[in-house]
């Protein structure tokens, strides 16, 4: 099965994020399977205009990204040009894939789909995000109850990345919902070979002899950065991949800045463990780290209890019972146990969460959406 599919995402690589990496993996893999793939996204971090890469034709539209830069809210405000671009692309498509329902790009694309009677699916990447800002939480609830709900109600199908998010959607709309977990490229995200870790650490200007706890994501409250930065200790260093150092951050926390997606596998191979403190989401970094043979520490949050975190190589930490620094100190104190846990986690995700299985399920979802328009 193949046809013409349009993906619509508010951000795409090189803007760094889990949704962006999923959209990249899906679009390039679909093109390899014979689909004619188009992508409409913001030009954040890239040049506006049209480009073709690995069979994917991308239309990047100018957008103001100040809400993310100033407040950590990834909601680009697009140029009016987006309306015409989406009209032309929706007309060409057999089916449209909206990456979540919370964004201006998804709302406009859904409106054109309704008018042109083009079937579309909504891909819910996260559940409700318990942001530190009361205003952001209030706006999020308003959007979920109005525009996002309308977009999902009119969809042929909603795809959720796990069953808890699928249940959350089912409570709000009658649209069919299916859970399709994300996948991981186990060839790219692999453990370090003998001697490779020291070489990679040297190239990234990281200490070769110390235990390194990796944090991947923007240094914002949604990702739990304040909690992780506050757990800096003497027996390990926390390494942040994904943004600049906020003022006042503990000097023991090391920053790599924004890391290109192509280099992230090397960053994982430098780490002894990954720490995840995200709120309201289970980020793709969990699968990427486990596939790289890197065990994961998760700061307790309901969204982090997912099929990805149900296997070996994963620890849950509850700061209300024990400081995060204490948990990390215990882990790095036994490097042999850490290595064994990483190997077990790698084996778990290789057999359970491949991109091939994800793409098979996604193509099936497209087939169901196309059937509704006949």
Peptide bond into 14 cis (omega under 30): yes
List of domains in the chain? 4-183+354-372 (3.40.50.2000), 196-351 (3.40.50.2000)
Whether residue 13 contacts residue 261, with contact meaning beta carbons closer than 8 Å, is answered with: yes
Q: What is the pLDDT of residue 243?
A: 84
Kindly report, residue by residue over 45-91, the tens digit of the pLDDT. 899 999 999 999 999 999 999 988 887 788 999 999 999 999 999 99
Percent of the chain with pLDDT over 70: 98
Q: What is the pLDDT of residue 285?
A: 93
Confidence of residue 280 (pLDDT cuts 50, 70, 90): confident
Cα 274 to Cα 90, 100, 240, distances in angstroms: 40, 26, 10
Confidence of residue 327 (pLDDT cuts 50, 70, 90): very high
Judged against a pLDDT cut of 70, whether residue 1 lies above it is answered with no
Judged against a pLDDT cut of 70, whether residue 330 lies above it is answered with yes
Mean pLDDT value of segment 100-104:
96
Q: Enumerate residues 6+ apart whose C-beta is below 8 A from 364.
A: none
Q: What is the pLDDT of residue 94?
A: 97
Question: What is the DSSP track for 30-78?
Answer: HHHTT-EEEEEEE-TTS-SEEEEETTEEEEEE-EE-HHHHHHS----EE
Cα 324 to Cα 36, 228, 237, 285, 319, distances in angstroms: 47, 8, 13, 19, 6
Which of 16-20, 121-125, 284-288 is predicted with the least confidence, judged by mean pLDDT? 16-20
Q: How many CB atoms lie within 10 A of CB 122?
A: 27
Q: What is the pLDDT of residue 162?
A: 83
Q: Helix, strand or coil for residue 113?
A: helix
Closest by alpha carbon to 287, among 256, 302, 262, 265?
265
Closest by alpha carbon to 236, among 273, 255, 214, 211?
211
Q: What is the pLDDT of residue 374?
A: 62
* Cα distance between residue 268 and residue 259, in whole Å: 11
Length of the chain, in residues = 374
């Amino acid at each position: 099965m193949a046809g013409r599919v349009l993906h619509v995402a508010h951000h795409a690589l090189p803007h760094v994020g889990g949704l962006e990496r999923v959209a990249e993996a899906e679009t390039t893999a679909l093109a390899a399977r014979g689909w004619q793939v188009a992508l409409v996204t913001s030009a954040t971090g890239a040049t506006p205009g049209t480009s073709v890469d690995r069979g994917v034709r991308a239309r990047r539209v100018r957008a103001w990204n100040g809400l993310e830069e100033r407040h950590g809210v990834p909601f680009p405000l697009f140029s009016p040009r987006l309306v015409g671009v989406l009209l032309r692309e929706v007309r060409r498509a057999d089916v449209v894939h909206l990456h979540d329902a919370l964004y201006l790009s998804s709302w406009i694309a859904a409106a054109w789909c309704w008018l042109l009677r083009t079937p579309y699916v909504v891909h819910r990447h996260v559940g409700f995000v318990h942001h530190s800002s009361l205003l952001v939480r209030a706006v999020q609830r308003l959007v979920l109850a109005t525009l996002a709900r309308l977009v999902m109600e009119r969809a042929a199908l909603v795809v959720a990345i796990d069953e808890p998010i699928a249940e959350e959607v089912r409570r709000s709309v009658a649209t069919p919902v299916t859970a399709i977990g994300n996948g991981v490229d186990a060839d790219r995200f692999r453990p370090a070979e003998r001697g490779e870790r020291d070489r990679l650490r040297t190239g990234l200007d990281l200490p070769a002899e110390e235990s390194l706890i990796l944090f991947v994501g923007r240094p914002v409250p949604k990702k739990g950065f304040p909690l992780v930065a506050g757990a800096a200790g003497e027996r390990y260093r926390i390494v942040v991949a994904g943004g600049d150092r906020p003022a006042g951050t503990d000097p023991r926390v090391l920053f790599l800045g924004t890391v290109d997606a192509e280099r992230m596998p090397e960053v994982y191979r430098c780490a002894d463990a990954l720490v995840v403190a995200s709120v309201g989401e289970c980020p793709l970094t969990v699968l990427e780290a486990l596939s790289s043979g890197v065990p994961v520490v998760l700061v307790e949050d309901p969204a982090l209890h997912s099929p990805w975190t149900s296997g070996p190589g994963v620890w849950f930490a509850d700061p209300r019972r024990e400081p995060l620094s204490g948990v990390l100190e215990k882990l790095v104190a036994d490097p042999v146990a850490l290595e064994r846990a990483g190997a077990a986690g790698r084996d778990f995700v290789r057999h359970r969460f491949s991109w091939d299985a994800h793409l098979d399920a996604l193509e099936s979802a497209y087939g169901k959406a196309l059937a509704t328009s006949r």
